[in-house]
Amino acid sequence: MPGGVSSPVRAFKSVGGNPVVFDRVKGAYAWDVDGNKYIDYVGTWGPAIIGHADDTVLEALNKQMQKGTSFGAPCALENELAKMVIDAVPSVEMVRFCNSGTEACMGMIRLVRAYTKRDRVIKFEGCYHGHADAFLVQAGSGVATLGLPDSPGVPKGATAGTLCATYNDLASVEEILKENEVAAIILEPVVGNSGFIAPTKEFLQGLRDLSTKYGCLLVFDEVMTGFRIAYGGAQEYFGVTPDITTMGKVIGGGLPVGAYGGRKDIMEMVAPAGPMYQAGTLSGNPLAMTAGIETLKRLKQPGSYEHLEKVTSRLIDGILEAGKAAGHEVCGGHISGMFGLFFCKGPVTAFHEATASDTKKFGRWHRMMLERGVYLAPSQYEAGFTGLCHTEEDVDYTLKMAKEVFALL
Ligand SMILES: *Cc1c(COP(=O)(O)O)cnc(C)c1O
């Protein structure tokens, strides 16, 4: 396996330079193959929001497995999850399931192009929308219109229609819109893929207004924020409704699921209702649908998001306070069960400011916390996640370790 892993960010080192290999997970905890226990603030990158290996989810999965794991044909569970998503997410009137966030974003970009009959899209520096060719661009503002690819193997043609703007900077968006016919503005409504970066409400509302003014679609990539920032996602939390939404992570409850949805007149472009082709052998399989349904049912119970808010605010406020008290330049923040920390003075409102962070110090912080049984996201450019199973005691322990580590950094 290249780098010994199936996805690049997992290739971080722990004690003695060895990689961490997990054996099992339960609730808020993970155990590695050497038997070390960690408080897990990664939660398989978000899906474990109700806790790992939840008994109710496992029981439902066991029951479903007896009936089969894939039909390659419609199953009633798809209707059940579709209804839950449509009820929850303000912009979604119709939904298509697929197998990952990447797939959801691939379907979404084809759809916005098909619907508007325009090829160009605007994305933001530091926003991640899966590994499809068209999204692997992060070009700085100077080369924004060149749309240069980030990875070898991505042909120039694939990214020529991808224009980059600066997060929380409406002027950078309008500048592009004035010069180009754009199909859609695509963004993470709260950024988690360059570390945690919150939008201003004015920024999101401004993008809504610009989309309407210039006749393009607004897309919220809620693969990370969906059912995490609030049950109805960041669009519910901020009260700004996009035309199209992509989802993944939480709606699969730890199994591979992605989805895209939105206004009915747009979604009716998707085959077989319309001409835009997108398909999947395992899409909407009963096992993945079951994990999603049971996870959303639990999240919907009263108190879920209050718990996430309470635990996460104490955690990140405590970490920032401890860091500052030990004389470090730190900044960060959270919304609901999503948080982040940068080793710089801040505030960080866009990717280019995140790059001011001391990543070497972050690396040492990460390793020393890991050695003390706290598993945080291994990169400065990733957010952290809490779930319903994280307790006040977990936070107490984490803050105690954070104080110890900040004193040694
Ligand atoms: C994780 C993520 C993706 C990609 O999802 P995968 O399931 O890893 O393919 C896309 N967009 C955002 C915002 C994400 O956080």
Confidence band for 3, pLDDT divided at 50, 70 and 90: confident
Same domain, 41 and 92: no
Q: What are the φ and ψ backbone dihedral angles of 385, each rounded to 5 degrees?
A: -135, 140
CATH number at residue 236: 3.40.640.10
Q: Which residue among 300, 334, 352 closes a domain?
A: 300
CA of 150 to the centre of ligand 1 (A): 17
Mutate to test the pocket of ligand 1, among 45, 97, 99, 102 (most ligand atoms within 8 A of CB): 102
Q: Does residue 121 share a domain with residue 237?
A: yes
pLDDT in tens, 249-290: 999 999 999 999 999 999 999 999 999 999 999 999 999 999
d(CA 26, CA 58): 11
Report which of residues 136 and 25 the model is more confident about: 25
Measured from the Cα of 193, ligand 1's closest atom is 15
363 or 14: which carries more pLDDT confidence? 363
- Cα separation, 180 vs 272, whole angstroms: 31
Query: What pLDDT shows up at residue 324?
Result: 98
Structure confidence at residue 19 as a pLDDT band (50, 70, 90): confident
- 284 and 335: one domain? no
The reply to whether 128 belongs to the active site is: yes
C-beta of 223 in contact with ligand 1 (< 6 A): yes
Same domain, 77 and 193: yes
Structural domains counted in the chain: 2
CATH number of the domain bearing residue 362: 3.90.1150.10
pLDDT for 145 equals: 43
Ligand 1 centre to CA of 393 (Å) is 31
- 364 pLDDT more than 80: yes
pLDDT at 140: 36
Beta strand 217-221 with 244-247 is: parallel
- The pLDDT assigned to 408 comes to 97
Domain interval for residue 375: 2-54+302-407
Q: Is the pLDDT of residue 139 over 60?
A: no
Predicted pLDDT of residue 177: 97
Residue 8 reports pLDDT greater than 90: no
Are residues 312 and 265 part of one domain?
no
Q: What is the pLDDT of residue 142?
A: 35
The last residue of one of the domains, among 300, 327, 357, is 300
CB 349 within 8 A of CB 197: yes
CA 386 centroid distance within chain: 13
- Same domain for 33 and 118: no
- Asked if residue 147 and residue 93 are part of one domain, the reply reads yes
Is 336 touching ligand 1 by the criterion CB < 6 Å? no
Is there an atom of ligand 1 within 6 Å of 128 CB? Answer: yes
Q: Which atom of ligand 1 is nearest to the CA of 249?
A: 7
34 is catalytic: no
- Give the rounded distance of the alpha carbon of 65 from its chain centre: 28
Same domain, 133 and 208: yes
Provide the phi-psi class of 249: left if phi over 0, else alpha when psi is between -120 and 50, else beta: left
Q: Are 94 and 261 in contact (CB under 8 A)?
A: yes
How many CB atoms sit inside 10 A of residue 254's CB? 25
**199/126 Cα distance (integer angstroms):** 13
Given this model, what pLDDT does residue 152 score?
A: 85
Rg from Cα positions in the chain:
21
Instruction: Give the pLDDT confidence of 207-227 residue by residue, as tens digits.
Output: 999 999 999 999 999 999 999
Spatial strand order of the sheet with 338-342 comes to: 331-335, 338-342, 384-385
Q: Give the CB-side neighbour count of residue 46, counting CA atoms within 13 A.
A: 25
The DSSP 8-state label assigned to residue 149 in this structure reads: B
Q: How would residue 148 be classed by pLDDT, with cut points 50, 70 and 90?
A: low
Query: Is residue 9 scored above 90 in pLDDT?
Result: no
pTM over 0.85? The answer is yes
Select from 300, 322, 348 the last residue of a domain.
300
Catalytic residue among 32, 40, 54, 221: 221
CA 224 to centroid of ligand 1, rounded, Å = 7
Ligand 1 atom with the shortest distance to the CA of 101:
5
Check if 188 has its Cβ closer than 6 Å to any atom of ligand 1. yes
Tokens of 53: 């290996």
User: What are the backbone angles phi and psi of residue 332, rounded to the nearest 5°?
Assistant: 170, -170
Share of the chain above pLDDT 70, in %: 97
Q: Mean pLDDT of all residues in the chain? A: 94
Query: 198 and 182 share a domain?
Result: yes
Are 13 and 113 contained in the same domain?
no
pLDDT band (50, 70, 90) for residue 147 = low
Do both 222 and 118 map to the same domain?
yes
**How close is the Cα of 368 to the center of ligand 1, in Å?**
28
Helix (H, G, I), strand (E, B) or coil at 329: coil
Going from the Cα of 382 to the center of ligand 1, the distance in angstroms, rounded, reads 12
Q: Is 248 in the pocket of ligand 1 (CB under 6 A)?
A: yes
pLDDT at residue 60, as a whole number: 98
Dist. CA 331–CA 166, nearest whole Å: 20
Residues 98-124: what's their mean pLDDT? 98
Q: Is 231 a catalytic residue?
A: no
Residues 286 and 351 in one domain: no
